[in-house]
């Protein structure tokens, strides 16, 4: 039958998603029904087609005979105009039309009339939706008007799945009681959906296609796993799941560690890792403003977009990432600044209130980076703010190999590196213990500079042999000497302390070295003694410093640091304590470390007259000597040297060491002869006997070496008389 399109007699009928006809037309349609079970859905509702579109039809006395009443959404869907003649037929449903699931987009029917998102519970919506439209046939992209608990909504059928896909009506499906209904939010809609039936499209916040190697990041796999677990994992799940657990998302994290280990590199690449809007990257000092209140205003501007989106979208808001590089510049402990403006404290207060204040945001992630964690206000670091603290430390051997591979990738692709060097990259990774990522990059640059130098003729710069520009393995070996690690063992600095080598002068020396090597092995392998301290005491010039330095080199520990008074000339007590503390803190970043506290009496400013000493430095040493490494996989050996152990014992400094070993002077003739044979090969046995008989008192090995060198000056050989004369000059 043909009917004319008209309006529905009342607005309330628009929310039923039915079309309406007059009673005479209704009776005519009933007479045309061949299979009531397939066409009749209620006593007063049939399934019909209007120009091929399926609707449910009911009678209404407000409709004139020959007309069919459609609401505005139905007319828009079918592209119908008022008074247009349309063809109406009976529609028969079948089992294949049954819907197993349907996804419905939700928006407000009257847009622009609310200022904040309306919270809608999707579990209640699903039940009410099926009660309102049960047995109706839905079509893709069909708009529906719906009154849910007094809220007028516009629904769009986005997609669905039929019980039997590919039936005779692929774009239509019948809503039944078992059908799963999932609601998603229309883009820009002022509604916030929550609950298990919320199928709001959740973008994967981690881009599945990212590759650390392509992004230029190596050796940070464990750190990224920890960052994802603590900061991003909860955001992958729907909001109702997180609410069921009763937790809040992590709003902030702190990346800290020594310079050059990749904190800023993470900031540069995190935007490529996140499958979301670009993060805001702010250098800490850039926040500061010369105008009063300007710095606080800049902090508020950083959070403005997140606040606006949360007001509009509620829990459906996307993630806003704000990255502060060098955050210690703006988050110093309140009260520590000496200026009279209080700007630093105000910035901290403003940041605290934005991250976790009264109106806290749930759609932000603040990432701060620093190498001075100790300077940051403790309120910033508490749970709820920058609660996740990830140490970006020195890379292990596998990480160093990844970094070396990244920085030599272009060389290898363009065949600018020798095959031998490519084969030995793993060996280079083993040799770069305690190198940071930035230092490894500097190492590769240094190796390339040797290749440049080899192929450049300064006198004729026009003759460049580009084809011969190859980085050799020898270039990397030279670069290892030129670019030492900041937290490594500087062998040249240590070898200066025993420039003339070590002379094994007798059994007493061998016993000391054997004991010290046993201590090194104990620190290396024992799980029960991660910290071991040894004090070498003895008379002056017995070679205590040389023994300690040589042991540091022989140990092959990646971190060896000498703390001596000559590097602290002019330091105040506070500065000395800070320097000593820094050496111990740096050692905690290395798996195996040796610290040599050389000449303890000079470190503490000890003077026998008085006696006088620096109690602040003494207390610092006592505390640090007893403090084990913070990480279970870190080991530390501390070696101290002193010539006044008896006086230090009164200060309880000796008791702070686990073991005290005495380095003796040369006493027996055989020990003296052993040293002389090592230095002077031209002495006869009689001359040696005369010299040893003249040395009646114990003598330090350094003193004996000095006297021998004095006697050799200007002479081809060392005579007994000359030696005894020099011995007398030196006070023996």
Query: What tens digit of pLDDT does each residue of 497-510 get?
Result: 888 788 888 889 99
Are the C-beta atoms of 139 and 63 separated by less than 8 Å? no
| Catalytic position from the list 25, 184, 599, 641 | 599
Burial code (b: 16+ CB inside 10 Å, e: under 16) for 519-552 equals bbeebeeeeeebbbbbbbbbbebbbbbbbbbbbb
Here the tokens at position 634 are 């870190």
User: Catalytic residue at 61?
Assistant: no
Question: How far is the C-alpha of 215 from the C-alpha of 236, rounded, in Å?
Answer: 23
Are the C-beta atoms of 385 and 356 separated by less than 8 Å? yes
Q: Let me know if domain 397-482 sits in CATH 1.10.3720.10.
A: no
Per-residue pLDDT of 671-708, as tens digits, reads 888 888 887 767 778 878 878 887 878 888 888 888 88
Cis geometry, peptide bond prior to residue 611 (ω within 30 degrees of 0): yes
Those residues whose C-beta lies under 8 Å from the C-beta of residue 300, and which sit 6 or more positions away, are: 350, 354
> Residue 278's pLDDT is what?
81
| Catalytic position from the list 16, 263, 598, 708 | 598
> Residue 334's pLDDT is what?
77
> Residue 577's pLDDT is what?
94
User: Catalytic residue at 544?
Assistant: yes
Q: What is the CATH number of domain 491-662?
A: 3.40.50.300
3-state secondary structure of 82: coil
Question: How far is the C-alpha of 434 from the C-alpha of 551, rounded, in Å?
Answer: 19
Are the C-beta atoms of 455 and 479 separated by less than 8 Å? no
User: Catalytic residue at 272?
Assistant: no
Q: What are phi and psi of 492, to 5 degrees?
A: -65, -40
Q: Which residue has the tokens 């046993």?
A: 518
Alpha helices (H) in 314-454, listed in sequence order:
343-356, 397-407, 409-413, 419-423, 425-431, 437-454
CATH second-level architecture of 221-391? 3-Layer(aba) Sandwich (3.40)
**Where are the extended beta strands (E) located within 437-576?**
531-537, 559-563
User: Catalytic residue at 545?
Assistant: yes
Domains 99-194 and 397-482 share a fold: no
| Pairing mode of beta strands 45-50, 40-42 | antiparallel
Are the C-beta atoms of 516 and 622 separated by less than 8 Å? no
> Residue 270's pLDDT is what?
72
Nearest CA-CA partner of 394 in 429, 446, 444: 429
User: Where does residue 260 rank: exposed (0-12), middle (13-18), buried (19+ CB within 10 A)?
Assistant: buried
Question: How far is the C-alpha of 346 from the C-alpha of 61, rounded, in Å?
Answer: 71
| Catalytic position from the list 152, 373, 424, 702 | 702
CATH second-level architecture of 2-90? Beta Barrel (2.40)
Those residues whose C-beta lies under 8 Å from the C-beta of residue 478, and which sit 6 or more positions away, are: 446, 447, 450
Here the tokens at position 376 are 């940051």
| Catalytic position from the list 211, 626, 627, 717 | 626
User: Catalytic residue at 634?
Assistant: no
Here the tokens at position 711 are 């006697």
User: Where does residue 612 rank: exposed (0-12), middle (13-18), buried (19+ CB within 10 A)?
Assistant: exposed
Question: How far is the C-alpha of 624 from the C-alpha of 373, rounded, in Å?
Answer: 19
| Catalytic position from the list 185, 263, 332, 544 | 544
User: Catalytic residue at 586?
Assistant: no
Task: Tell which CATH classification among 1.20.1250.20, 3.90.380.10, 3.10.330.10, 1.10.10.60 matches the domain 99-194.
Answer: 3.10.330.10
Domain ranges for the chain: 2-90, 99-194, 221-391, 397-482, 491-662, 669-729
Question: How far is the C-alpha of 329 from the C-alpha of 631, rounded, in Å?
Answer: 28
Q: What are phi and psi of 541, to 5 degrees?
A: 70, 20
Question: How far is the C-alpha of 194 from the C-alpha of 121, rounded, in Å?
Answer: 5
> Residue 221's pLDDT is what?
76
**Helix or strand run (H / E) with residue 263:** helix 263-273
> Residue 237's pLDDT is what?
75
CB count within 10 Å of CB 631 equals 13
Those residues whose C-beta lies under 8 Å from the C-beta of residue 688, and which sit 6 or more positions away, are: 673, 676, 677
Alpha helices (H) in 20-61, listed in sequence order:
23-31, 36-39
Q: Classify residue 533 by its DSSP letter.
A: E
Those residues whose C-beta lies under 8 Å from the C-beta of residue 219, and which sit 6 or more positions away, are: 262, 395, 396, 398, 399, 400, 402, 403, 437
CB count within 10 Å of CB 732 equals 15
Q: Which segments in the chain show pLDDT lower than 50?
A: 201
| Catalytic position from the list 432, 545, 620, 642 | 545
């Amino acid at each position: 039958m043909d009917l004319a399109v008209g309006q529905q007699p009342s607005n309330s009928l628009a929310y039923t998603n039915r079309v309406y006809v007059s009673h005479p037309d209704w009776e005519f349609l009933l007479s045309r029904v061949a299979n009531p079970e397939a066409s009749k859905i209620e006593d007063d509702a049939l399934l019909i087609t209007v120009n091929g579109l399926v609707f449910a039809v009911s009678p209404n006395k407000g409709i004139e005979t020959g007309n069919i009443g459609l609401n505005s959404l139905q007319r828009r869907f079918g592209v119908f105009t008022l008074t247009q003649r349309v063809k109406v037929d009976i529609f028969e449903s079948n089992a294949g039309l049954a819907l197993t699931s349907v996804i419905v987009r939700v928006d407000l029917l009257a847009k622009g009339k609310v200022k904040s998102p309306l919270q809608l519970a999707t579990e209640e919506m699903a039940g009410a939706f099926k009660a309102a439209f049960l047995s109706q046939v839905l079509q893709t992209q069909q708009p529906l008007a719906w009154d849910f608990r007094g809220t007028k909504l516009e629904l769009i059928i986005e997609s669905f799945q039929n019980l039997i896909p590919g039936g005779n009506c692929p774009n239509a499906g019948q809503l039944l009681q078992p059908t799963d209904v999932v609601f998603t939010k229309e883009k820009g809609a002022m509604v916030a959906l929550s609950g298990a039936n919320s199928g709001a499209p959740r973008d994967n916040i981690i881009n599945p296609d990212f590759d650390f190697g392509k992004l230029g990041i190596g050796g940070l796999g464990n750190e990224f796993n920890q960052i994802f677990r603590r900061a991003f994992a909860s955001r992958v799940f729907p909001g109702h799941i997180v609410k069921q657990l009763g937790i809040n998302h992590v709003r902030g994290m702190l990346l800290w560690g020594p310079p050059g280990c990749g904190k800023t590199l993470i900031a540069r690449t995190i935007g490529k890792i996140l499958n979301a809007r670009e993060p805001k990257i702010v250098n800490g000092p850039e926040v500061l403003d010369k105008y009063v209140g300007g710095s606080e205003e800049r902090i508020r501007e950083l959070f403005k977009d997140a606040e606006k989106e949360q007001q509009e979208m509620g829990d459906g808001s996307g993630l806003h990432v704000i990255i502060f590089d060098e955050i210690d510049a703006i988050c110093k402990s309140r009260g520590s600044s000496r200026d009279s403006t209080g700007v630093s404290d105000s910035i901290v207060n403003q940041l605290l209130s934005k991250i976790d204040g009264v109106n806290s945001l749930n759609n932000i992630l603040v990432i701060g980076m620093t190498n001075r964690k100790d300077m940051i206000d403790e309120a910033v670091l508490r749970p709820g703010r920058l609660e996740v603290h990830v140490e970006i430390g020195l890379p292990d051997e596998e990480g160093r190999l990844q970094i070396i591979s990244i920085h030599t990738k272009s060389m290898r692709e363009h065949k600018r590196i020798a095959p031998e060097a490519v084969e030995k990259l793993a060996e280079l990774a083993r040799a770069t213990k305690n190198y940071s990522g930035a230092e490894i990059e500097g190492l590769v640059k240094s190796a390339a500079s040797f290749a440049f130098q080899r192929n450049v003729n300064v006198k004729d710069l026009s003759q460049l042999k580009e084809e011969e520009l190859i980085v050799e393995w020898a270039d990397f070996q030279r670069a290892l000497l030129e670019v030492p690690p900041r937290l490594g063992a500087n062998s040249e600095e240590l070898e200066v302390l025993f420039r003339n080598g070590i002379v094994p002068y007798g059994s007493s020396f061998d016993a000391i070295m054997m004991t010290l090597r046993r201590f090194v092995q104990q620190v290396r392998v024992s799980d029960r003694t991660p910290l071991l301290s040894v004090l070498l005491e003895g008379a002056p010039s017995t070679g205590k410093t040389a023994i300690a330095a040589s042991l540091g080199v022989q140990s092959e520990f990646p971190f060896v640091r000498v703390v001596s008074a000559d590097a602290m000339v002019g330091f105040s007590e506070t500065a000395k304590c800070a320097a000593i503390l820094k050496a111990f803190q740096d050692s905690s970043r290395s798996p195996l470390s040796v610290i040599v506290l050389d000449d303890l009496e000079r470190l503490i400013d000890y003077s026998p007259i008085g006696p006088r000493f620096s109690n602040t430095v003494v207390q610092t040493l006592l505390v640090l000597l007893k403090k084990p490494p913070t990480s279970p996989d870190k080991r530390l050996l501390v070696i101290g040297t002193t010539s006044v152990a008896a006086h230090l014992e009164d200060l309880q400094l000796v008791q702070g060491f686990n073991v005290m070993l005495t380095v003796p002077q040369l006493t027996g003739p055989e020990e003296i002869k052993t040293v002389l044979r090592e230095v002077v090969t031209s002495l006869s046995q009689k001359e040696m006997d005369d010299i040893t008989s003249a040395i009646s008192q114990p003598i330090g090995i350094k003193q004996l070496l000095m006297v021998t060198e004095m006697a050799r000056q200007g002479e081809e050989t060392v005579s007994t008389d000359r030696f005894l004369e020099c011995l007398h000059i030196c006070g023996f």
